[in-house]
Amino acid sequence: MKPSKNIIGLILGPLVFSLILVFFEADGLSFEAKCILASTAWMAVWWVTECVPISVTALLPIVLFPLTGGMDLSTTTAAYGHKLVFLFVGGFMIALAIEKWHLHKRLALNIIRMTGINKSRVILGFMLATAFLSMWISNTATSIMILPVGLAIISQLKDDPNTKENENEIFGKSLMIAIAYSASIGGMATLIGTPPNMVLAGVVEESYGIKLNMFDWMKFGVPLSSFLLMICWVYLTKIAFRFKNEEFSAGRDEIIRQLKKLGQFSNEEIKVLIVFTLTALGWILRGSIEKIFPLIDDTIIAIFFAVILFIIPTSNNKSYKTLLVWDDTVKLPWGILILFGGGMAIASAFGKSGLALWIADLLQNLNGIPLFLIILIIVTSINLLTEVTSNMATTAMLLPVLVTIALAIEIHPYFLLVSATLAASCAFMLPISTPPNAVVFSSGFLKIEDMFKKGIWMNIISVITITIVVYYTLPYVFEMTAMLYPVN
């Protein structure tokens, strides 16, 4: 971040806030709504410029909403304790246990081993392993964990006398990009897989009182993620990069060597795997569990099994230790949790202040545009925006606005909200676009030119895919028989 951009952002945010608060007047805009509009504009400037950490910006509602009179302090701070925040706390704790006991590496290596020995299938193995882990673990942690395995495989190819030097370079670039893309795509499959999905669930519940549970989302997210992953694999191995010599026996040897290095399943790995499996089954089978425990919730399931991890002992006979200890929680992504809370505060304030209805009135003229075109415009715009901004900040800022747009043009809000959420996870062009992009760029195999040229086509593919899938399949996956109206 350049100092000049920092200074501009720091000054511009409060300036825009002050101008709106003092000078902006509009018919139908209440004082409370104007306060929320001004505060959100300040946050938007700071989020876009990143002049301060984006999680710090997410704390501004606690100061601005009550002081301006936009929303009281108790209601504002309650958003930061939203039950979905604790769903992610539980999910992140389970992910910490998986990482702590190296279960994630064993799972990844076994997936890669099963896919074959030629170059394209090795890349497929890495993509499947990365995508699967990214469904449950942050895409940043997943890409950091997979990167050393990928580098080891590339080093084996360099030692293979049957390959040419340029083949080594092509394979290295292809594998690095594949890891980054599959980390982002895999996260789309579950609610806890990527921050924008978290924001979507929160905004839907805050705006409409509807709970999106894990299984509801996975019915849609897993097929879409799988389909996009396969398209991505074909694109990377058949179009973006082509291998004249597909043979790569040394790669399989390296995978087997690393698996042998891990040894047998440890007692701790087995225990963590059981807890992880039970958690996933609890989320997937929640509908059946509700018949016995009507008040069960995804958050309750996540926290219950997270607590279990602090109770189950390890096999260390010398001292009593559990699978997780409190010191492990220092690694929790507290910044993401605060950012999510800030997004929920904005969503709540949009409804309670009347700002949502005022924006909806302004957007009545969009009513004549075909739904397919509206979805395409939203997906394209957010896809490009998230190339240079945080995807969670973007969704936290824009989803409440899309709630009002859906109301204004009288279409089911899921079309707009889901489109925007998915698009926010598909920024593939630049190293700064997503943490996985930055991680693989640090390997030294890629130049910005490589990422841009390959990424722009993957962006286009994802935009087209998301638009078509949302438009044609969304009504068959979610209950969309009636129009939804905000409850606030």
Give phi and psi for 313, each to the nearest 5: -80, 160
Structure-token pair, residue 201:
């669930």
Report the distance separating Cα 129 and Cα 125, nearest Å: 6
Mean pLDDT of the chain: 82
Please tell me the predicted confidence (pLDDT) of residue 446.
79
Q: How confident is the model at residue 225 (pLDDT cuts 50, 70, 90)?
A: very high
Give the model's confidence band at 427: pLDDT under 50 very low, under 70 low, under 90 confident, else very high.
confident
How far apart CA 428 and CA 425 sit, in angstroms, is 9
Provide the pLDDT for residue 156: 63
Domain limits of the chain? 84-331
pLDDT digits (tens, 9 = 90+) for 190-215: 887 888 888 888 888 888 888 887 88
pLDDT tens figures, 80-119: 887 777 877 887 788 788 878 888 777 777 777 777 667 7
pLDDT at 250: 61
In the structure, how many helices (H) and strands (E) does the chain have? Answer: 23, 0
Dump pLDDT digits (tens) for 114-135. Answer: 776 677 888 888 898 889 888 8
pLDDT above 70 for 389: no
Does residue 158 or residue 334 have the better pLDDT?
A: 334
340-385 tens-digit pLDDT = 788 778 877 877 888 867 876 765 666 678 889 989 988 988 888 7
Confirm whether pTM is higher than 0.85: no
- What pLDDT, on the 0 to 100 scale, is given for residue 249? 60
CA–CA dist 312, 407 (Å, integer): 49
Whether 165 shows a pLDDT value over 60: the answer reads no
With residue 119 as reference, give the H or E element that holds it. Answer: helix 119-134
Per-residue pLDDT band at 279 (split at 50, 70, 90): confident
